[in-house]
Amino acid sequence: MQQTAEGVARPAGRPRSEKAEKAIIDATLDLIGEGIGVAELSIEAIAARAGVGKTTIYRRWSNKEDLVVDAMASLKPPIPLPEQGASVRDALVTYLRVIRDESSQVRTRCIMNIAMSDAERHPRLAERFREIAVEPRRRAVAAVIQRGIETGELRPDLDAEMAMAILSGTMMWHMKWAHQDRQPSDDLAERIVDEALKGFRPRPGED
């Protein structure tokens, strides 16, 4: 989905369809957030909520599942590429900050929970969501870790998949289970990365 920043003059062409697309995505997320399951969600209801006709939706999405996948993917934007020359630590901190920011939004978390519980009954939806929103992140982080192994910042036998699971899982755990009265500290991403790096860095006296 392409979005135009508020206040910036839209380039010529397709302004109406972009606006409609955003309204359709928002309507879909709103309905899921209100607890409408994927099974009960109807193109009619989405069209009514978005204030568009059904054909406007079908012009862009051939079926409901594809629309739900795109709506969910809009909540998980791709992580920014690390700046040229950034250390592995900085790149991983950036990654964890993205995860922290998106899971600190109650609406996002709520919709993801509902959608994932629904996904158990809709394996194809879950699979496509993984392809569109999870796999690109996995590849981006795997590339950062691979680069860290090459530069010697990380130990050569580090399992990239396990390293990503440790980083993302630890952040997810904090956002889900931390005490409500203990807000995640501003430096949570840094603390997780520094803790994880204690196990990821080459061991002294080894290659």
* Contacts to a second copy from residues 137-196, by CB under 8 A: 159, 162, 164-166, 168-174, 176-177, 179-180, 191-192, 195-196
The yes or no reply on residue 131 touching a second copy (CB under 8 A) is no
Kindly state the smallest distance separating residue 14's Cβ from a second copy, in Å: 34
- In this structure, the number of other CB atoms found within 10 A of the CB of residue 80 comes to 12
The helix, strand and coil proportions of the chain, stated in percent and rounded to the nearest 5, come to 65, 0, 35
Distance CA 23, CA 52 (A): 8
Name the residue nearer to a second copy (CB basis): 16 or 107: 107
In this structure, the number of other CB atoms found within 10 A of the CB of residue 106 comes to 9
Q: Supply the minimum distance, in Å, between the C-beta of residue 173 and a second copy.
A: 3
The site that binds a second copy (CB under 8 A) totals a number of residues, namely: 44
Q: How far is the CB of 113 from a second copy (least distance, A)?
A: 3
**Counting contacts by CB under 8 A, is residue 68 touching a second copy?**
no
Measured CA to CA in angstroms, residue 179 lies from 102, 109, 183, 192 at distances of 18, 16, 7, 17
- Selected binder of a second copy within 19, 54, 130, 139 (CB under 8 A): 130
